[in-house]
Structure 1
Amino acid sequence: MDSQGSTADDDSPAIKETSSSFKKFHGPQSIGELKRHLYGDKQWKIAGNSIASVTTSVIPITVICNNLSKNWQTLLNFSYNTNDKERNEVTSLVYIIQTIVDISKLLDSDSLLLLPAFNRFVRLLSRIAMLPIVDETLKNDAKCARDTFYQLFHLLDSSPHLMKYLTHAYEWTDKEQFLDLPTRRFHNTIKKEGAILYETLLYVIFYTSNRACMFTVFEENDLDSYPNILKAFVRYIDHYLKITASSSNIPDIFFNTIPYNLAAQENLSLTWNLVDKTVIVPAFVAAGYPKAVLEWIQIPQLKVEHRKALVSIIHNIARDAKGAIELRKEDGVTVLERIQKEVIADVDESMHVLFYMAYTLLAREDQIEQHVKLENPLLRNIFTNLLINAITACFSVLEKQGMSQSGFHLSELLVVLEKLFVSDVLGKYLLDIQLRSDASTVINYTKTFADTLVACRGALTDGDKRGILACESLINIIWSISFYNPDDESNDDVKKQLSDFRSNLKSHPELILVLQGLKDNQNDAAKCILWNLNPEQKQISDPVLPYSGLNRKSTLKPEISIWISASGTTPDLDICSQLVNALKKNSSNQYVVLVNNDDTSWEKITETIDEATIVLFLATDDYYTSRYCRQAAIYTTNCNKPFILLWPYQEKHSCMKGWLKKLAGKNADPVPFRKEWLINGTETIQLVNDIFDVIAERTSHRFETKRDTFLEGSQPGQQLKKTTTTRPSAINSVVCNIA
């Protein structure tokens, strides 16, 4: 009896006699014979509890399958189509997979599934796909890798029986059959063998697609033609994890290698590698992966290989802007905090780093700062590993060995550091972690980042999306560090790094040339870096002189102009739009209200600030994390321009942290308001009056509102009439102007 429980004697004299015709094995001939036996009218029927054939003997097909199994290692050496010029081992593999997928359409009640010889050959498909020549061919032929990936995805998409199985696997079989337990009835055996066949085929398709995708360069929208496949993947894994977990512990694939477990894990691995290609992540977001993976990762019975794959998928989705938004909508930060203990309990340090990379991309800066303030040694160790990987990847670039290191692409690491360096607290925390290139030399991170930018600058124009992202992240990290003032530091090591960073502009001519070149190509970040680090050097930064009425001839006719500085996010721009309408509706004066955001060029920002009578900063969370907004605030204060901080109540933490707290001053609070005040008549008038009170105080402009009139030259707060309100007036809690 073989592993399938059959008593068929494959070494019978009849088989030996028939097999003599196969002494010289020929793969295409055997595959062709197999197809001829199985196509056309149904040939294999169930008669009672035995196998019977209508038109032919059971021996020939058994011999065919036995010969295919016996010679499985040579099957890829043959050509299975007429175009020999494009033939290679991978095209032969795809043809064989296609043949078995076509045969699998005949399932239903056919007893072909009960032939042990056929099942044995099908199970060998995975070993054929794992032959070293397959991986070698895919690695050395990018076109072949891409073609193979799409051929297999098209095969899956155009096979209704496999797609139905993916989305309705629970209708085919139950958990006991998947776990390979004995079955009582013959038709249940058909279902069981059918499930095993399908799972084996899916495993081979997933595995080969996975290997092919690793060597494929994807373009934007490449997976948009396969939404049904991605949605089917979600249902397939959802069923596997939830149903299996509800009945028993999810098996460890290293000790339970039945096809069901292997196929599910390979699908997770395939998804992991695909979402690592940031350009195609939107397709997975559209298929519902953000919600699904956050549900899956909370399943207590997960094994380490499943949890690591899911953490990696979350991390890669979070690298995409829309993906991060969807993960936050599903309360991703809370979910990650909930499973933190289970993740950290695992000994795999690489998973710890992946977990905190994902958490960093989703959480607010103040949430991460809270973890840092707890002085958790584990967190410091994780951030140290993150820095080690990033610096090592930078060294790899400097040594011209590529942008990948230890399984990470440089862009993956830098985009996380970019988020951390937005916060002065977190940025300086990282700079305080000392890494040494040898026993005595401490690595200067800022210099390493600058050197790496010089080395890989060509990727900005000639690189792929990940190369471009790596360069942009380096620029943004340097931009964030350029805000830090060495004179404010008490930590000598951090102070030295910041001082050295500034001196690099004078001692690092290549860096100067790179930044100057980027500036000439209208790169606003480079312009701002140069302005921050060398405000005295006109030839580098071309700074605008401190504000005065003679700075620039005004093009604004009204005597007063208000500039609202806001981030470019949709919620902030919506608030700005309502605020502009409220200001215009509740004033009889002629004036201009301008709104700038992250999409506005740096030249336009400086010009508008120079023209403005007063600046209103919409101090939301998004404003705090915007480098453009921080740059505008610095420029405003350097120009001695009057300003007001508008603070939305619902984001009460935004103004009381980091650089915004310094901007507000130690003894002054921002002007508070609620968004609903902009659509409520009484509250809107009060808010507008508060703003105009400050304008009168700061600018001494004659300004009329529907409430009262401010006289030019009047004392701050002096007014002809004043209305009462149910909330405290903000006039006495206006921020101070910090030069």
Structure 2
Amino acid sequence: MAESRKTQRRTTQEAPTSTKTTDLPNDLPTLFSNLRQIILKKAKDDEPIDSTIFQYIELIKNKIRDLTKLTQPTEIFDALQATLKLYINDILSIKNALNILSSSLLQEIFTTLDDAEENLDLAGVFQNNPTYARTVCFRSFELLALSIITDFLNEKCPIELFSHTARILQGIIYRILTTVECIVFKKNELQNFIPNIRLLLEYVDRNKQNVHHSNMPELIKAILNFIWSLVDDTSLVPTLIETNCPEYVLRWISMEDLPLTIQRVCLHIIENLARHEKGVKVLNNANCLAILLNFKKRVLDPNKTNQDDVYPELRLVYCMAVSLLAEPKENREDLDYLRKILDQLMQLAVDAGQSVNYKYGGFHVSEPILVLTKLCVHDEILKYVLNESNVKGMEAKTKIEFFCKLLTKFRGALASDDDLDQLTLIALFNILWSISFHDEYIDELKSYPKFLITVKSLVIDDGANTVEQYIPRPLSSLTKAANGVLWNLDENNPGINKKSKLFMIILLCFTILARATRSTVDPDTQALNQSGTSRVHRMHVMVSYSHADSDFCHQFVDALQKDKRLDIWVDFAYCHTEDLWEEIGEAIEKADLLLFLMSKDYQDSKSCRQEVMYAKDSLKKRFIPIYVKKEFTATGWLGVRIVGPQYIRFGKKPFDETVNELMKLIFEDKTQQENKPSSTTENKPPSVTETKRPSVTETKPVETTTQQKKPEENNLTKPNENNLTKPDENNLTKLDEKNQPESNAKPLKKPVEKWTKKDITQWFSDNQIDQQLSNIYDFKYGTDLLLYGECLRPDWQIEYNDVKQRYHEKYQKQLYRDQFVPFVRAVNELQTLKPKSKSKSKLCTIS
């Protein structure tokens, strides 16, 4: 990001002549020390430069030139930097000798140093030796603390030395800029230099009005590039916040009279600050969104058609910053050209991801990937990016292949100290987790063996759990995201081995026979036995929440636990880490009721999405949506899934009163569900307005569940004239009629116990069960089907894992849960649909 130094105009001064030869010392420290003493004496007598001073200056310049003859570039630069420090400390620190120090003859010492340094390929040296680059970086930071530099920044520098000191400071800053590109900073590593960085910002702030649009001073430009380079490292954002950097850049970008060059750098700095949660908090507290909107109206809107390189870049960075700072509802004004921005983001990700150093146009690949990860929690945006975004020069055949291959390239990030590489890896896992929620992408994800091996290896890698990389709030930890991907791909579902499963089935069969035998006991004896062993049944309730709402959740759970009829499961009480999805999945399976504590953070959480989809889509569990804040309304994937059930909203009434309403809903609704007949119809069909194509920002809650397909949100399609494609009214009517939910259950013509193989085959067909799945089974009698149903009752997931393996062996393809669930549902319905008779069989008494 640093720009090369411009050649400085140098003035010459006639040197004094002398025929006298003096024996002078041969080492630079002694030469500088002696020269200092001579200048001090001359300053006391107020004398100008004489032949002695001139001889020392010439000898020092020759010694500096001799340094360039050293063998190693690192030796040369070390000597040059040590000489610069001598020059600053021994010579420029002299007081009351301005007539000598301001002389161009004396200042040629620095010019000679500068020329010698420019002849070195320092960028190549630092690139090949990051350890040395780190040493030079911190050595240069120490130069910023020298008194002559701090005096200059505090405007205490004599006017005669102002230009010369500015050149020296500019050289130090450019040197740091060159090293920053090659090193990785650690957390709080620049804490000791906060006062010096703050001084640089204060200097720019005081002198910003002196900057002309046509000629911005090189020092101001160097300082701004310096701050930009530092904040580009996410780990340094907390340090930059302590320097008051956010306050300054927001002030500068708000000023209409500052040149666009400065405002451009400010916008980049804001975007980098927003990549860290602390930066987001500070910027939002300072009303950053309003400031950015004003910048857009003032600078970007009048230049919508301006295709100069700077304006497309500014529009992209603006949208990246707003996306990192804003909630979707606050982001609507930017959506007119969101598709173009998504195209740019994806193009930037591809260009940077395919480059050798993962950088392109000043951006690290982590920057567009991080923004895409946050935006792609919205399914419409995700599908647009994957299916329609316009990208050129991509080596991969599809966007999914690009993300998968890029993830494998960053596999080694855990073994390095590079925070940006680790952040990139975590962001890639999160965006691939978002992709894995959609059935249409599952097969492609599973077709990349290197990707699957990488994900599985990182799940069991201890380094994935111990990495100390800062994780921005929208992202989940690497381990959680990797486990989430595997779960959605059916590569990591909880199950038990075949022997244990077979034992469980046998045990269940014996239990069925025992129950049937007990049914012959006379009613009086049976009632007596039941009265002695009965106990109050506690409802198993699982609470699903976002960790951002943990304070509310603790208060909520404490209130629920006062009711002894409820057995509450919540992860902070049972899980030791946040990554134990198996425990959470088991809790969902055992729950009689799930309570979804919904908020914006809940909707944006892929972990919460996984819990909701497993509970509602896969297991068809009973749930109650609970809004933890009065102003939030669920949309998108969450809005689709909560249509129908009555919900509870906290915030409008006192907390205890709302809890009482929830308790009433829990138990009254439970009683109604127990009393009403079973039905496959969960909710009323959507109306035409409910099925209207959603906007790019939000999806209006619509219930469109079917028996064999998970709820999906509409795709974001490319429109004409940059507007969303409007839905066809006739098609919507047809869609409404098509989505009328109907139960496949039909009255039975004869008892299940009397069914033959032909009846069972017809039953599979009537319930629209996958034909290939039905071919796996060989039930000959109805009692076989009923007995199998009893084996499914405790945990149908166990049977699903086994059938899935048999299905794959037979057909060489995957059996998904939404293909198996209709079969489980139909088997469970057999008990309800059996015709009533006066004489009950023993199997009919199974409970």
Residues 588 and 735 from structure 1, CA distance in 2 versus in 1: closer, same or farther, beyond 3 angstroms?
farther
- Residue 299 of structure 1 corresponds to 255
- Residue 602 of structure 1 corresponds to 581
Is the Cα contact below 8 Å between 1:580 and 1:593 reproduced in 2?
no
Question: Which of 25, 34, 37 is matched with 1:36 structurally?
Answer: 34
Is the Cα contact below 8 Å between 1:645 and 1:735 reproduced in 2?
no
Distance 1:127 1:275 in 2: 30
Is the Cα contact below 8 Å between 1:394 and 1:452 reproduced in 2?
yes
**Are residues 1:60 and 2:56 paired?**
no
Q: CA deviation at 1:148?
A: 0.9
Residues 305 and 64 from structure 1, CA distance in 2 versus in 1: closer, same or farther, beyond 3 angstroms?
farther
Secondary structure, in 3 states, of the residue corresponding to 2:236? helix
Distance 1:5 1:434 in 2: 53
Is the Cα contact below 8 Å between 1:668 and 1:736 reproduced in 2?
no
Is the Cα contact below 8 Å between 1:454 and 1:510 reproduced in 2?
yes
Distance 1:631 1:577 in 2: 22
Q: CA deviation at 1:692?
A: 0.8
- Residue 555 of structure 2 corresponds to 578
Q: Which moved more, 1:89-98 or 1:116-125?
A: 116-125
Question: Which of 195, 205, 216 is matched with 2:183 structurally?
Answer: 216
Question: Which of 275, 283, 295 is matched with 2:231 structurally?
Answer: 275
- Residue 499 of structure 2 corresponds to none
Distance 1:152 1:359 in 2: 35
Residues 139 and 698 from structure 1, CA distance in 2 versus in 1: closer, same or farther, beyond 3 angstroms?
same
Secondary structure, in 3 states, of the residue corresponding to 2:173? helix
Q: CA deviation at 1:463?
A: 6.7
Secondary structure, in 3 states, of the residue corresponding to 2:428? helix
Distance 2:203 2:253 in 1: 15
Structure-to-structure mapping, 1:499-538, within 5 angstroms: 499=440, 501-521=441-461, 523-534=479-490
Match of 1:560, as an amino acid? M
Secondary structure, in 3 states, of the residue corresponding to 2:47? strand
Match of 2:640, as an amino acid? K
Secondary structure, in 3 states, of the residue corresponding to 2:626? strand
TM-score normalised by the chain length of structure 1: 0.73
Q: CA deviation at 1:558?
A: 7.3
- Residue 445 of structure 1 corresponds to 399
Residues 619 and 42 from structure 1, CA distance in 2 versus in 1: closer, same or farther, beyond 3 angstroms?
same
Distance 1:116 1:133 in 2: 27
% same residue: 23
Q: Deviations over 1:276-316 (max 9, x none)?
A: 22233322123322232222222223333322322222222
**Are residues 1:620 and 2:599 paired?**
yes
Secondary structure, in 3 states, of the residue corresponding to 1:15? coil
Question: Which of 315, 323, 339 is matched with 1:360 structurally?
Answer: 323
Match of 2:568, as an amino acid? V
Q: Which moved more, 1:304-313 or 1:103-112?
A: 103-112
- Residue 748 of structure 2 corresponds to none
Question: Which of 373, 380, 383 is matched with 2:342 structurally?
Answer: 383
Q: CA deviation at 1:461?
A: 4.1
Residues 342 and 90 from structure 1, CA distance in 2 versus in 1: closer, same or farther, beyond 3 angstroms?
farther
**Are residues 1:592 and 2:548 paired?**
no
Is the Cα contact below 8 Å between 2:231 and 2:240 reproduced in 1?
yes
Question: Which of 266, 276, 288 is matched with 2:222 structurally?
Answer: 266
* Structure of higher RCO (CA pairs closer than 8 Å, 6+ residues apart): 2
Q: CA deviation at 1:696?
A: 0.9
- Residue 138 of structure 1 corresponds to 126
Match of 2:447, as an amino acid? S
Structure-to-structure mapping, 1:462-481, within 5 angstroms: 462=416, 464-481=418-435
Q: Which moved more, 1:134-143 or 1:314-323?
A: 134-143
Q: Give the length in aligned residue pairs.
A: 615
Q: CA deviation at 1:62?
A: 3.8
Distance 2:80 2:326 in 1: 45
Is the Cα contact below 8 Å between 2:396 and 2:402 reproduced in 1?
no
Distance 1:304 1:127 in 2: 32
Q: CA deviation at 1:432?
A: 4.4
Residues 215 and 75 from structure 1, CA distance in 2 versus in 1: closer, same or farther, beyond 3 angstroms?
farther
Q: CA deviation at 1:210?
A: 1.4
Q: CA deviation at 1:268?
A: 1.4
Is the Cα contact below 8 Å between 1:281 and 1:317 reproduced in 2?
yes
Distance 1:368 1:75 in 2: 61
Question: Can you give the 5+ residue segments of structure 1 that lack an aligned partner in the other structure?
Answer: 174-190, 486-498, 545-549, 678-682, 702-711, 717-733
Structure-to-structure mapping, 1:178-197, within 5 angstroms: 191-197=158-164
Is the Cα contact below 8 Å between 2:543 and 2:568 reproduced in 1?
no
Structure-to-structure mapping, 1:199-348, within 5 angstroms: 199-241=166-208, 244=209, 248=210, 250-252=211-213, 255=215, 261-342=217-298, 344=300, 345=303, 347=308, 348=310
Residues 694 and 650 from structure 1, CA distance in 2 versus in 1: closer, same or farther, beyond 3 angstroms?
closer
Secondary structure, in 3 states, of the residue corresponding to 2:484? helix
Is the Cα contact below 8 Å between 2:225 and 2:265 reproduced in 1?
yes
Residues 514 and 114 from structure 1, CA distance in 2 versus in 1: closer, same or farther, beyond 3 angstroms?
closer
Is the Cα contact below 8 Å between 1:618 and 1:646 reproduced in 2?
yes
Is the Cα contact below 8 Å between 1:360 and 1:368 reproduced in 2?
yes
Residues 15 and 143 from structure 1, CA distance in 2 versus in 1: closer, same or farther, beyond 3 angstroms?
farther
Match of 2:550, as an amino acid? L
Distance 1:209 1:368 in 2: 37
Distance 2:13 2:365 in 1: 58
- Residue 626 of structure 2 corresponds to 646
Secondary structure, in 3 states, of the residue corresponding to 1:617? strand
- Residue 97 of structure 1 corresponds to 84
Q: CA deviation at 1:130?
A: 3.1
- Residue 360 of structure 2 corresponds to 405
TM-score normalised by the chain length of structure 2: 0.65
- Residue 568 of structure 1 corresponds to 547
Match of 1:622, as an amino acid? D
Q: Deviations over 1:190-209 (max 9, x none)?
A: x2123323322211211111
Q: Which has the larger radius of gyration?
A: 2
Secondary structure, in 3 states, of the residue corresponding to 1:220? coil
Q: Deviations over 1:59-83 (max 9, x none)?
A: 33245446666x698364167xxxx
Q: CA deviation at 1:9?
A: 5.9
